[in-house]
Structure 1
Amino acid sequence: MVEVDDADRQLLKLLQEDGRRSYSEMAPILGLSVAAVKRRVDRLRENGVITGFTVQIDHAKLGMGVEAFTEVRYVGTTKVNEIVATTAKMPEVQAIHTIAGDPDALIQVRVRDIAHLQEVIDTLRRTGTVTGTKTLMVLGSWVRRG
């Protein structure tokens, strides 16, 4: 666990709102010098608190507007790394969450339309280790940033 203070927390919040925010923009908000903000960001990166910077994308504008989560059940002898290996190759897969209990994994996918979703699910089922799936369509989303 890494020790962080209130300034670090506020800095992280600012970066989560806009990862492209400059040190000079954040310095007056935090009441710190530009150099102090840079040192804090560098320390948080070195300690693994900040693991990267990202961009938020409107997937619908790229033709991948349908999002779904598929619960996947695997043969009992399937290893966790095999679950990830077989599904991570699929470009439609956005995230793979291996979970305890039933089901074994929750897989987030983005597809063009329902026919494309069916193709993705069929591909999952043909891996040879999947024993069942249940798919939930996303109607809308709200994500906590921070």
Structure 2
Amino acid sequence: MDILDEFDINIIKELEKDGRMAFSAIANNLKISNTMVHQRINRLMEQGIISGIKPVLNEKKIGYDWGTFTGITLKKDQDSAKVIEALKLIPEITECYYITGSFTLYIKMIAKDHEHMRRLLYEKIDSIAGISKTESLIELGCAFKRNISL
């Protein structure tokens, strides 16, 4: 049995167009009942398929012109939980991933300018106990960002 059926997929596609769309509008567009839309969205959220409906901020429009992808090498990989908790306290870090290869963690970070980025890297991240080194790539703009196609 597939996790998502045709109704689920169509509901998700409607939400991708506008996450604030009323359930009744989705129901009307798909020619199904409002109750069915409500039940399906609740189930998709309970299953973790939809993790939330929230605004997507344009970081550059609110003054964050710099972005980096930073690989983090830990002194001991066992310290990852403590390091991640410390990284969560830095609001400019928007994403954090476990990865394979030269680094243990990979983060996406935004800053207002190069001085802000320097302070984040040298004063906040490098001071976290357990971090051995970092290596950053400057982001020059997002070509595209999207959900997986259903």
TM-score w.r.t. the length of structure 2 is 0.87
Deviations 1:110-133 (A, max 9, x none): 100011111111121122322221
SS for the counterpart of 2:26 is helix
Q: How many corresponding residue pairs?
A: 146
Quote the Cα distance in structure 1 between the aligned partners of 2:40 and 2:130. Answer: 46
Task: Report the alpha carbon displacement of residue 13 of structure 1 after superposing the two structures with TM.
Answer: 1.9
Give the letter for the 2:84 counterpart: V
Residue 96 of structure 1 is matched in structure 2 by 96
Quote the Cα distance in structure 2 between the aligned partners of 1:5 and 1:112. Answer: 43
Deviations 1:9-50 (A, max 9, x none): 111122123211111211132221222211211222222222
SS for the counterpart of 1:128 is coil
SS for the counterpart of 2:51 is coil
What does 1:21-40 correspond to in 2, within 5 Å?
Answer: 21-40=21-40
What does 1:74-113 correspond to in 2, within 5 Å?
Answer: 74-113=74-113
Gaps of 5+ in 2: none
RMSD: 1.9
SS for the counterpart of 1:3 is coil
From the superposition, tell whether residues 77 and 39 of structure 1 become closer, same or farther in structure 2 (CA, over 3 Å).
closer
Quote the Cα distance in structure 2 between the aligned partners of 1:80 and 1:99. Answer: 12
Contact 1:80 1:98 in 2 (8 A): no
Quote the Cα distance in structure 1 between the aligned partners of 2:100 and 2:46. Answer: 31
Deviations 1:48-82 (A, max 9, x none): 22221110112222221211111111102542211
Deviations 1:67-107 (A, max 9, x none): 11111111025422112112111121111112223211111
Residue 137 of structure 1 is matched in structure 2 by 138
Contact 1:45 1:51 in 2 (8 A): yes
Gaps of 5+ in 1: none
Q: Once superposed, which parts of structure 1, at least 4 consecutive aligned residues long, lie more than 6 Å away?
A: none
TM-score w.r.t. the length of structure 1 is 0.89
